[in-house]
Amino acid sequence: MSKKTKAQELQEQLTWTFPHIGKDSPGQIEKASKYCEGYKAFLNAGKTERECVKAAVKMLKKAGYRPYDRKASYEAGDKVYYVNRDKALIATTFGRKPLSEGVRINGAHIDSPRLDLKPNPLYEKDGLALLKTHYYGGIRKYQWSAVPLAMHGVVYLEDGTRVEISLGEKEGDPVFCVTDLLPHLAGEQNGRKLSEGIKGEELNVVIGSLPYEDSKDVKEAVKLKVLALLNQYYGMTEKDFIRAEIEMVPAYRAVDIGLDRGMVGAYGQDDRVCAYTALQAEMGVTDPVYTTMTILTDKEEIGSVGNTGLNSDYVLHYIQTLAERKGADYKTVLASSLCLSSDVNAAYDPTFASVYESRNSCYAGKGCVLTKYTGARGKSSSNDASAEVMAKVIRIMDEAGVCWQTGELGAVDAGGGGTIAQFVAGLNVDVVDLGVPILSMHAPFELASKLDVYHTYLAFRAFYTAG
């Protein structure tokens, strides 16, 4: 072997590229694949934020967590959880260091783009019973037509009974669908801009097509048949839709993608991929140096609004109660804390290369992605993590042997987006985004590399256990 030149040696010392995990560490492939079996099960169990909280509580209880009691005293190693209105959750493992030295916070969101039913959704038109929807989050509307949909949600009946709905997930269940035009008749539609290929008021879900029996003298007999079935299954009447939260989500189950099975394909990986890996890392912590806080939050896709979103004060109030019990000033706790805003980024897609800047994009298979800032164009609605925060988090990952990369959300003027980081930063907490690169983000079916999922879990585990 020829001796390296000084220039070659200097190039090795001074330059840097992010390696592909499967190429440099092929032994990781089997570990990642095995890890993602549990992840796929979590995706199948949690198609909505309520279902994710329900699944998370089940996992936490099995791991020894108890409901948080603000009047109780806790010692290092104790594990508790707090549920906010069945749509958000905080899990905590108490650490050895005093709370005044800060906590390690990891926040992911468990809401995903979907079609919500309007308050008065059911109608009949020309022999079909349909549901009016109002889309939730940033969707590309044309992607939601002609795909199988499942109905999930909760409804309160007039007598106060709470009924959970999940229809379209089990073998033999009926599914639902938004129709689209056949190409033979789509001349006018083809002239629309892609963003208007399907319009919001055209996202109507087919729920029935048969009339109620012996209904010759009844108007809207197909609608009546649907109401009769809803009443039979769930005890509902039409008025009960007003007291309901019902979401139409893709009926797909999580599957492996590619002949090599190297990716997971599923609905809702933004951001349940970070929720699952964060929860797994949290549950694995036994004796942390710092108290941990794993937050699974709601409403990120529409701006983190409402009392279950991170732009409310429920996390602040939780930290205040922790500080009160430990005799600490909550402002000092916040200022001393470090947070990972655990959210996905857009993986570089060679089919649509023009909207990315290749040197500053993240790639499937190269590990979790550290996103210094999000926002749009001039970094509006961004957190923009400091050099100090970047250095801390990178050191933690490097010392733990985590494969990581950096990435921006596309080219500077191509668009952009936000995460919960800006709201955490508003509490005077140091924060940076870290998560999984995703292909087809916000589509009804998203792709993630199993290697990236696994190394995101390793990053979170290192974050919680580092001193």
| pTM listed for this prediction | 0.95
Interval 85-142: pLDDT, tens: 999 999 999 999 999 999 999 999 999 999 999 999 999 999 999 999 999 999 999 9
> Region 69-73: what's the mean pLDDT?
93
Please say whether the beta carbons of 195 and 141 come within 8 A. Answer: yes
The two structure tokens encoding residue 188: 């006018």
Buried b vs exposed e over 297-315: b needs ≥16 C-beta within 10 Å? Answer: bbbbbeebeeebbbbbebb
Q: What is the pLDDT of residue 1?
A: 60
415: pLDDT strictly greater than 90: no
Give the integer Cα–Cα distance in Å for 283 and 420. 22
Please say whether the beta carbons of 45 and 253 come within 8 A. Answer: no
Nearest Cα residue to 276 out of 444, 93, 423, 60: 60
Q: At what angle do helices 450-465 and 269-284 cross, to 10 degrees?
A: 40
pLDDT > 90 fraction of the chain, expressed in percent and rounded: 91
Give the integer Cα–Cα distance in Å for 98 and 100. 5
316: pLDDT strictly greater than 80: yes
Please say whether the beta carbons of 108 and 297 come within 8 A. Answer: yes
2: pLDDT strictly greater than 90: no
E strands in 258-394: 263-266, 291-297, 338-341, 345-346, 368-371, 375-376
Interval 30-45: pLDDT, tens: 999 999 999 999 999 9
The two structure tokens encoding residue 428: 């005077």
DSSP string, 403-437: -EEE--SSSTTT-EE--THHHHHTTT-EEEEEE-E
Which DSSP category does 70 fall into? T
Q: Residues 54, 434, 432, CA angle at the centre, nearest 5°? A: 110
Q: What is the pLDDT of residue 216?
A: 81
E strands in 161-276: 162-167, 177-178, 205-208, 244-250, 255-257, 263-266
Interval 210-222: pLDDT, tens: 999 987 888 999 9
305: pLDDT strictly greater than 70: yes
Phi, psi of 188 (to 5 degrees): -65, -40
Give the integer Cα–Cα distance in Å for 130 and 125. 8
Nearest Cα residue to 343 out of 243, 456, 200, 221: 456
